[in-house]
Amino acid sequence: MCGIVGLFLKDKSLEPQLGAMLTDMLITMTDRGPDSAGIAIYGAGQGGRAKMTVQSAQPDNDFATLAEDLSAVLGTSASVRAVDTHAVIDLPADKAESARAALAELRPGLRVMSDGERIEIFKEVGLPKDVAARFSLSAMSGSHGIGHTRMATESAVTTQGAHPFSTGADQCLVHNGSLSNHNSLRRKLRAAGMRIESENDTEVGAAYLSWRMREGATLGEALESSIDDLDGFFTFVVGTKDGFGVVRDPIACKPAVMAETDQYVAFGSEYRALVNLPGIDTARVWEPEPATVYFWSH
């Protein structure tokens, strides 16, 4: 049992409130996942620039001279914004892969949480309210975001095992459920060149969608194919640079509810995650159908 939340803003005037609204939704789902929590925020991007979010168990040591060390190796300017155990590295977009390789040498203890033009991911072990406070999630702004509260079943309670998982540029996934064919699929995806760093079944789901999109599928098409190719019980909420998607397996035993107004589309594992959203009393509220793909894009 885990808790999922998601919010896709249609009304740009709400963007400064995205972090606050998602934080409230996340904390409401605490009893569905008290051991770790995470959030992905899609904020403003800059053409030609990339953001890489990294996590460290020793942030004081790892982040102290990271900007200077990385800039020297890459031969270009990179800046670092530290946020508790995470840091957001800003660098030229064409240096993103080189930066991954450089970080493995410069700071082998760092883990890359996400990269892309707009995405930032923050996740840690602990109660959702404590994770949210550590990263000042309520102060973040953006156009859309997804979050997760975890009750571990498939792997240990670690930062690496927390959601969201990102396996492609500006892509991420949160998941409630259990994939039964993740071991065989992990081997196939790694053979196809996909980067999978944990034993968590959700990361395999994320890598599967990233692989399908790498092969030319749209987000909607990737989600549709997941219905046939992934075994088990799952509710997925997916984020991309411009969009937000939802799919449930054909049995749909994991709870889910959605709401839509002229201002936003929202997702929650339970309706109580949505009750404080503006205009929720007049929203169209429904339960997503089994084996049906929903997605929105800007």
Q: Which residues are catalytic?
A: 2
The partner residues of 4 in beta bridges, in order of sequence, read 148
Contact 22, 39 (CB under 8 A): yes
C-alpha distance across the termini of the chain, in Å: 31
Tokens of residue 271, six digits: 């309706």
Q: Which residues of 40-71 are buried (b: 16+ CB within 10 A; e: fewer)?
A: bbbbebeeeebbbbbbbeebeebbeebbebbb
Write the DSSP symbol of residue 91. Answer: E
- Bond prior to 164 in cis (omega within 30° of 0): yes
Nearest to 164 by CA among 144, 184, 183: 144
d(CA 201, CA 175): 9
d(CA 41, CA 61): 26
Contact 237, 2 (CB under 8 A): no
d(CA 222, CA 189): 14
Residue type, 44: A
Tokens of residue 65, six digits: 């001279």
Contact 179, 201 (CB under 8 A): yes
d(CA 285, CA 201): 30
Nearest to 169 by CA among 217, 214, 109, 110: 214
